[in-house]
């Protein structure tokens, strides 16, 4: 079993890496890791590049309410929870508003994987419709979509990447953003 301190460290590291890579700005996005009983998630309103291990919030995977949790967890907690419930095989989730992938969500399209040979290492992506951030409708739709996809684009919102460990989820998040960037740049030539 993974130690709680290691889980917290992984989330802090992911936040710093996402911030340094320009995949999150300010307090946007959220990161979580699940163990057998808990979801560890970033707090609401915190800069992902400045997180400390003590900032990470631990909530029962079966929680039905989070309004009494201090500090306040990410407004997307239930989205993470629904995904973990539908996909017991995964352990980590990153949700960003990264500029290139989010540009595709604004257009309502998925990038062309054929433009980059390395895309063969990426899982297939799905595009969800427009949902209010933090809503139960978004949580349910993301959970249902996660049964078949490890990359989920949220119309006019951002991207969710899920996987078996944080290292892999970070890699896929960065590689998918690069694919989106190549798609956009290639259209400018």
Q: What is the DSSP letter of 73?
A: B
Residue with tokens 């949220």: 154
Full residue range of the structural domain in which residue 12 is found: 4-188
Half-sphere CA count of 92, side-chain side, radius 13 A: 21
Residues taking part in catalysis: 76
pLDDT tens for 26-72 read: 899 999 999 999 999 999 999 999 999 999 999 999 988 776 778 88
Q: What is the DSSP letter of 122?
A: S
The number of distinct structural domains making up the chain is 1
- For residues 2 and 63, what is the distance between their CA atoms, to the nearest angstrom? 21
pLDDT tens for 85-96 read: 999 999 999 999
pLDDT-derived band at 148, boundaries 50, 70, 90: very high
Measuring CA to CA, which residue among 178, 160, 134 is closest to residue 31? 160
- For residues 49 and 64, what is the distance between their CA atoms, to the nearest angstrom? 29
Read off the pTM.
Answer: 0.95
Residue 22 sits in a domain whose CATH number is: 3.40.225.10
């Amino acid at each position: 079993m993974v130690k709680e301190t290691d889980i917290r460290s992984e989330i802090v590291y992911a936040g710093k890496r996402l911030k340094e890579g320009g995949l999150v700005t300010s307090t946007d996005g959220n990161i979580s890791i699940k163990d057998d009983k808990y979801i560890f998630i970033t707090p609401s309103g915190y800069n992902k590049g400045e997180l400390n291990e003590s900032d990470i919030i631990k909530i029962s995977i079966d929680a039905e309410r989070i309004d009494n949790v201090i500090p306040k967890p990410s407004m997307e907690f239930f989205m993470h929870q629904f995904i973990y419930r539908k996909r017991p095989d995964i352990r980590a989730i990153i949700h960003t508003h990264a500029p290139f992938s989010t540009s595709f969500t604004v257009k309502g399209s998925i990038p062309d994987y054929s433009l980059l040979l390395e895309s063969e290492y990426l899982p297939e992506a799905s595009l969800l419709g427009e949902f209010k951030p933090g809503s139960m409708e978004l949580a349910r739709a993301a959970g249902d979509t996660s049964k078949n996809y490890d990359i989920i684009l949220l119309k006019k919102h951002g991207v969710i990447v899920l996987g078996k460990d944080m290292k892999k989820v970070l890699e896929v998040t960065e590689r998918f953003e690069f694919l989106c960037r190549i798609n956009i740049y290639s259209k400018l030539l």
